[in-house]
Amino acid sequence: MDDRETGDPRALFAAALTRLRRRVPDVSDETLARRAGAVVLPSGRRVAINARRLGEWVNGQSVPRKFEAVMVLIQAVEWTAGGASAEQPTVAHWQQLWRAARDYRSSPDRSSPAPGQPPQPRSRIVIGRPPSDAAALRRRDGLADSIDAAMRDASVRQILLTGAGGVGKSQLATAAFHRAMQRAEILLWVPAGDRLSVLGSYARAWRALTGVRVTGGEEEAALPGIDRGGDDETQADLFLNWLRSTATPWLVVLDDIDDPGELGGLWPAGDAGRTVLVTRRRDATLLRPGVRMIPVGVFTADEAIAYLADRLLLDLGPAAGQHGSPAHRREDLAALSAMLDHFPLALSQAAAFLIDTGMDLPAYLSLLADRRESVAGLLPPSSPADEHGGTVTGTLQLALGRAELLAPPGSVRAMLELISMLAPEGIPDAVLLGTAARDWLGAGPVPERAALLALRALHRLSLVTHHGPAGPAVVDVHSLVQRAIRDDVPPERRERLATAAADALEEVWSAPDCEPETETVLYRSAEVLLARADGHLWRAGGLHPLLRRFGRHLTAVGRPAAARDMAQRLADQARGRLGDGHRDVLTLRAQAAQAEGDLGGTAAALRSLGRIRREAEDSLGRTDPDTLFIRLQEARFRMESGLIDAALADFVALAAEARGTLAAGDPLVTDADDHVALCRGLSGDARGARDGYAAIALALERELGPRHPRTLTVLTNLSRWIGETGDVRLAVTTHQQAVDGLASALGRLHPETLIARHNLAYWHGIAGEPGAAAEQLVTAADDAELALGAEHPTTLTCQVNLAYWRGVAADTAAALRSLEELRPTLERVLGADHPRTLRARQQQAELLYRRGDHTTAAERLTTLLTDMVRIQGANHPRTREAERLLARWSREQVAAVSRQELNVTEKASAAPDAES
């Protein structure tokens, strides 16, 4: 029977202290002792409290010599917990419990084990010293709950807290250690940096276990009949064997495991207890049945801001009852948190630096933003983190040194240098394992296996996270790790490093089978690389090929404004470095003009591309691949301006010349053929367009396969002309096939898929199903807003056509209101002269006509037609369509007037003669 149930005064006092202690389970003994020592008694005195003694009092191993120690402890708990408990004993009762426990002497034989048997502790034993609580400690509820759930799970024997150095693993383990005091009777905290440290801690635990006090005095006495062992190895073995056999609840924390291989044979095991493993390592040695891995990452944004707010508020403790400096602005705290990417160790060092130097936060933010400043200088050893033995850079170098032992010499650091130039998340591992990357890792391309070993070594030490094989094979890394590594790259290696990173991205991006999702993540890394390369991607012969992909990619994903800005910025830089006539300058200028045209500036784009094309023909030649690209864009905007016949002639000539110059299957040849077919259709030859697109689709299906995105995109174009030739139901069926394929290949939120979904809905409307069209456009508009934003052109197009088809289906008045509400947004985002804005005005006029307001509809369409002629030209297909529509309305009005006049005449003829 437990002494706490027998009326033993010492046990009763310890039980009361335990209940008091449980009110603040997340506060360590060190912190609670420090707070108790700061309490000022009515006499004006303070009482020093020792954390080890506090643990002995709660465990019933000893009793305070003076009652004042009990009083300050009670006040410290009440201050920490926010007030006294309703069940709290009175002061008189506390004094009675304390006096009875102090005067009590136990019988020596009450707790003695049977000779030769392992000792059974009569009260909790705590061995080892966990780290003290960090200032402004965050509980991190999600992680704490995961740890507690693992503690309760009978199938879990070990809990593995793994993550980069400095993310707060030990603080989480410390809090769990204190919470476990409510359940476990044996608690051991082990510094596990090396084997000797672990052996020494186990031996100390065995000595403590076999030396439990039996006299109640200050001295320990060994229990008779127990093998205390000789050296640390023997005592450690005895302790581990006891853990396996005991029914006493226990907890062992192995903190900061450096090399799991060193701890062979020293892993605690036993049904009565749990082990918490704290390490940056993720080796196979640690991942086995019965282990629950809990990855520990950085703070959330809210946790980071709250930490900084509390840490920078100079709390002087409960005795002082006052605060120092005023709170900082939340937006500054958020900015600091974001710039340090919520990394706990960095936040702690930054806070210490601000406190130590007295620097204001805005000035420090300016330093952080300056890429010339090093991480070591911004987070110096002179301002160490609270309750952490290292700095950000020191912790990183320690882990990197250990990782370098796990792969061929030099490869690990070189791999991390390469990673440091790219985006911090979502780097495809194909970029890091390709030929270009492997060439950077050694004097020549190292074997792929060696590159993989280097990458996995970084993963094993939590310097990066290499995802897979269950999901996408990508690599994530903390941005502060990247910055610290870049700081250490010697100046003479930086140009080669930037080039190697660009080569690695270009190698993957240029592959024929590069998927659109991969292109998106490659663009993110390329954009980061451009900012970090310090001009090293510009060479005397021209810019790196990777930079040409920026504008093309942004255009392809439906971001013409971003494409224009990026292409223009690169063109301005290239002009200063390479001169006006260089092919790279001409190509970038053409990309900028193309994007301007996509935003509605058709006439301006056509003029710019004409000038650029003439310059390219003079300096590069008419059939140079870059000149062919420029000619393609010029012909496209000639088509957009309504000069269909001239554009058709341009495209036919371009397609023929491209076939003679470029390799078979080059995308530019396909684009030229695509536009030849489109121009045939726009010029009135719908059957020719249909046949042209059918031939392109068949060729792409043979070359790339029926499910390739390029094949499916051409299939959507074919669907349109199937409908234009009169086979509306087949057009709907073919559009559905293209939408299903694009959704499978690219995802339902990809810009190409969203456009195809919009077109499918449109043809449902043309097929006489306006309700189905509106229903599909509701989902498409919502998805476009989710994927692209509320004011993206594709989103606005879906919303405009949703309103139109709702009006055709039923509620014309509501549809007209929606179109009127959308018009200011269209004019602001796209411009008043953009084709989409003009189309919305036409649809509004059509709905007015359907409602019966023929005069207003005709007036608005007449005004619109004048604008269309001015903007697009008289021959533009949309201009001619509006002209035909207005003419039809005029004929209908003439016919209606004629019918009215006929009806009047017929009524007059049928009326009785007034004379009769």
CATH number at residue 157: 3.40.50.300
Query: What's the rounded mean pLDDT across residues 666-689?
Result: 90
Indicate the pLDDT class of residue 223, thresholds 50, 70 and 90. very low
Indicate the pLDDT class of residue 225, thresholds 50, 70 and 90. very low
pLDDT of res. 913: 46
Q: Can you name the residues that pair with 757 across neighbouring β-strands? A: none
Of the two residues 3 and 52, the one the predictor is more confident about is: 52
The reply to whether 257 and 182 lie within a common domain is yes
Those residues with Cβ within 8 angstroms of residue 564's Cβ, 6 or more apart along the chain or in another chain: 551, 592, 595, 596, 599
Residue 60 lies in a domain: yes
DSSP secondary structure string, 800-834? HHHHHHHHHHS-HHHHHHHHHHHHHHHHHHT-TTS
Residue 201 lies in a domain: yes
pLDDT of res. 901: 59
DSSP secondary structure string, 168-213? SHHHHHHHHHHHGGGT-SEEEEEE-SSHHHHHHHHHHHHHHHTT--
Structural contact between residues 220 and 283, judged by C-beta atoms closer than 8 angstroms: no
> Measured between alpha carbons, how far is 369 from 48 in angstroms, rounded to an integer?
45
- pLDDT score of 897 more than 70: no
- pLDDT score of 597 more than 80: yes
- pLDDT score of 598 more than 60: yes
The reply to whether 235 and 143 lie within a common domain is yes
pLDDT of res. 312: 83
- pLDDT score of 6 more than 60: no
Q: How far is CA 86 from CA 75, 78, 90, 265, in A?
A: 15, 11, 10, 49
pLDDT of res. 109: 43
Closest CA to 603 of 634, 629, 641: 641
Which domain-ending residue is among 367, 402, 437?
A: 402
pLDDT digits (tens, 9 = 90+) for 232-256: 888 899 999 999 989 899 999 999 9
Structural contact between residues 275 and 202, judged by C-beta atoms closer than 8 angstroms: no
> Measured between alpha carbons, how far is 622 from 650 in angstroms, rounded to an integer?
13
The reply to whether 308 and 288 lie within a common domain is no
Residue 593 lies in a domain: no
Least confident of 206-220, 306-320, 372-386, 516-530: 206-220
pLDDT of res. 514: 83
Q: Write the DSSP symbol of residue 539.
A: E
pLDDT of res. 328: 78
Residue 249 lies in a domain: yes
The reply to whether 224 and 246 lie within a common domain is yes
User: The tokens 């980061």 sit on which residue?
Assistant: 528
The reply to whether 45 and 161 lie within a common domain is no
- pLDDT score of 113 more than 80: no
Query: What's the rounded mean pLDDT across residues 520-528?
Result: 94
pLDDT of res. 389: 61
From the number of C-beta atoms within 10 Å of its C-beta (0-12, 13-18, 19+), residue 786 rates as: exposed
The reply to whether 137 and 263 lie within a common domain is yes
Query: What's the rounded mean pLDDT across residues 294-314?
Result: 87
Residue 729 lies in a domain: no
pLDDT of res. 96: 85
The domain in which residue 18 lies consists of 9-104
> Measured between alpha carbons, how far is 508 from 506 in angstroms, rounded to an integer?
5
The continuous run of DSSP H or E covering 251 comes out as strand 250-257
DSSP secondary structure string, 584-626? HHHHHHHHHHHHHHHTT-HHHHHHHHHHHHHHHHHHT-TTSHH
Those residues with Cβ within 8 angstroms of residue 161's Cβ, 6 or more apart along the chain or in another chain: 147, 169, 172, 173, 276, 277, 278, 279, 294, 296
The reply to whether 172 and 55 lie within a common domain is no
Residue 621 lies in a domain: no
The two three-digit tokens of residue 198, written as one number: 């672990």
Indicate the pLDDT class of residue 512, thresholds 50, 70 and 90. confident
- pLDDT score of 155 more than 50: yes
Least confident of 121-130, 213-222, 419-428: 213-222
The reply to whether 81 and 134 lie within a common domain is no
| Domains: count for the chain | 3
Structural contact between residues 717 and 674, judged by C-beta atoms closer than 8 angstroms: yes
pLDDT of res. 323: 43
The top-scoring range by mean pLDDT among 182-186, 221-225, 238-242 is 238-242
Least confident of 65-74, 105-114, 188-197, 771-780: 105-114
Query: What's the rounded mean pLDDT across residues 759-767?
Result: 92
Indicate the pLDDT class of residue 226, thresholds 50, 70 and 90. low
DSSP secondary structure string, 36-64? HHHPPPTTS------HHHHHHHHHTS---
> Measured between alpha carbons, how far is 357 from 380 in angstroms, rounded to an integer?
11
pLDDT of res. 322: 41
Structural contact between residues 572 and 585, judged by C-beta atoms closer than 8 angstroms: no
- pLDDT score of 809 more than 50: yes
pLDDT digits (tens, 9 = 90+) for 323-377: 444 567 888 899 999 999 899 888 888 888 888 888 888 888 888 888 788 888 8
Task: Provide the residue type at 664 as one letter.
Answer: A
The reply to whether 367 and 333 lie within a common domain is yes
The reply to whether 179 and 252 lie within a common domain is yes
Alpha carbons within 13 angstroms on the beta-carbon side of residue 93 total 8
Residue 221 lies in a domain: yes
pLDDT digits (tens, 9 = 90+) for 770-796: 999 999 999 999 998 888 788 888 899
Q: Can you name the residues that pair with 293 across neighbouring β-strands? A: 160
Query: What's the rounded mean pLDDT across residues 819-847?
Result: 88
pLDDT of res. 361: 87
- pLDDT score of 511 more than 70: yes
pLDDT of res. 914: 38
Structural contact between residues 473 and 467, judged by C-beta atoms closer than 8 angstroms: yes
The reply to whether 209 and 177 lie within a common domain is yes
Indicate the pLDDT class of residue 120, thresholds 50, 70 and 90. low
The reply to whether 286 and 188 lie within a common domain is yes
Least confident of 83-97, 268-282, 297-311: 83-97
- pLDDT score of 900 more than 70: no
- pLDDT score of 316 more than 50: no
Mean pLDDT of the chain: 85
